[in-house]
């Protein structure tokens, strides 16, 4: 049974990563045919970093990803602390509302936000409201649940007496939060921020409905590239994005593992 489970897991991972392996190999191929590897080259990467339009789009995506993840982390951490202090049916209701954006199809979320922004634009007499601000609001909106669900487990694991001890020692509630609570939940905050960053960086569906011509992100423009034969430098771009997101996820797992070891060592000492 164990052997079957290992083989099945290997097959699943193989199917998951074969498309990315094909793209990575194609990014180093001197030819344009994906089925034939004609030789190794770095020319596609050189052309990628000489392409000012692609770099501008990548910069736009990074700006949105960084800003939205920071805002979502701050708001999500505050929301998680508030939810943690709730009890009974109110907490269950708020958690249900928090989980809805994660289970809701992206296309429904995108269309809903687009209609909302169009309605606000009509109220404010703004003809072209779609742009940087609408993109940022949309990304913060769908990132919030991931931050909340990353921070809440750390709040549950925290010793509730720590805050009371800080208050007894003369801290104000705000000082107790920054000096005690935030320190204890920081691994969850960082994990939530990294998750929000990766979700924002590669989002296409929601961004497609709320972007404007003045500010276009890379995933939206890549969709336009798929309507015609792809230039090999796009394969290099895909590879760079894949490696970047892979490194972020590896960092998040390392931080989580270090926090687990720290908590385990703390329990053993006590």
Are 67 and 136 in contact by the 8 Å Cβ rule? The answer is yes
In a domain, 42, yes or no: no
pLDDT at 252: 77
Rounded to the nearest angstrom, the gap between the alpha carbon of residue 186 and the centroid of all alpha carbons in its chain is 17
Mean pLDDT, all residues of the chain: 84
In a domain, 142, yes or no: yes
In a domain, 29, yes or no: no
CATH number for the domain that contains residue 72: 1.10.3720.10
Residues 206-227: pLDDT tens digits?
999 998 888 888 888 888 777 6
pLDDT at 254: 82
In a domain, 111, yes or no: yes
| Residue 57 tokens, joined | 């789009």
In a domain, 141, yes or no: yes
Domain span holding position 166? 59-269
In a domain, 177, yes or no: yes
pLDDT at 36: 75
Residues 26-50: pLDDT tens digits?
888 887 777 677 788 888 888 888 8
pLDDT at 210: 92
Buried b / exposed e over 149-180, threshold 16 CB at 10 Å, is bbbbebbeebeeeebeebeeeebeeeebbeeb
| Residue 115 tokens, joined | 């209609």
In a domain, 35, yes or no: no
What letter would DSSP give residue 231?
P
Are 135 and 67 in contact by the 8 Å Cβ rule? The answer is no
In a domain, 38, yes or no: no
Are 116 and 129 in contact by the 8 Å Cβ rule? The answer is no
Cβ contacts of residue 31 below 8 Å, gap of 6+? Answer: 37, 38, 39
Domain tally for the chain?
Answer: 1
Give the residue among 254, 150, 129 at the shortest CA–CA distance from 197: 150
Per-residue pLDDT in tens (0 to 9) along the chain, 270 residues? 677 788 888 888 888 888 888 888 888 888 777 767 778 888 888 888 888 888 888 899 999 999 999 999 999 999 998 888 888 788 888 888 888 888 888 899 999 999 999 998 888 888 888 889 999 999 999 999 999 999 998 888 887 777 788 877 788 888 888 888 888 888 889 889 988 998 998 888 999 999 888 888 888 888 877 766 777 788 888 888 888 888 887 887 787 777 777 767 766 665
């Amino acid at each position: 049974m164990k052997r079957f489970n290992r083989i099945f897991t290997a097959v699943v991972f193989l199917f998951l990563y074969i498309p990315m392996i094909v793209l990575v190999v194609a990014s180093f191929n001197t030819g344009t045919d994906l089925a034939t590897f004609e030789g190794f080259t770095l020319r596609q990467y050189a052309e990628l970093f000489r392409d000012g339009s692609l770099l501008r789009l990548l910069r736009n995506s990074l700006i949105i990803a960084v800003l939205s993840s920071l805002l979502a982390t701050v708001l999500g951490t505050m929301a998680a602390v508030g939810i943690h202090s709730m009890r009974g049916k109110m907490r269950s209701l708020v958690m249900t509302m928090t989980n809805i954006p994660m289970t809701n199809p992206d296309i429904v979320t995108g269309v809903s936000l687009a209609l909302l922004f169009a309605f606000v634009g009509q109220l404010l007499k703004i003809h072209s409201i779609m742009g940087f601000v609408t993109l940022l609001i949309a990304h913060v909106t769908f990132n919030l649940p991931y931050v909340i669900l990353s921070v809440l487990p750390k709040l549950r694991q925290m010793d509730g007496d720590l805050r009371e001890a800080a208050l007894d020692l003369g801290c104000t509630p705000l000082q107790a939060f920054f000096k005690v609570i935030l320190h204890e939940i920081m691994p969850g905050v960082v994990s939530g921020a990294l998750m929000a960053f990766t979700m924002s960086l590669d989002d296409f569906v929601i961004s497609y409905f709320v972007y404007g011509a003045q500010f276009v992100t890379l995933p939206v423009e890549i969709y336009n590239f798929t309507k015609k034969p792809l230039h090999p430098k796009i394969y290099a771009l895909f590879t760079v994005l894949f490696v970047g997101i892979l490194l972020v996820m590896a960092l998040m797992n390392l931080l989580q593992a270090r926090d687990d070891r720290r908590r385990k060592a703390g329990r053993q000492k006590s």
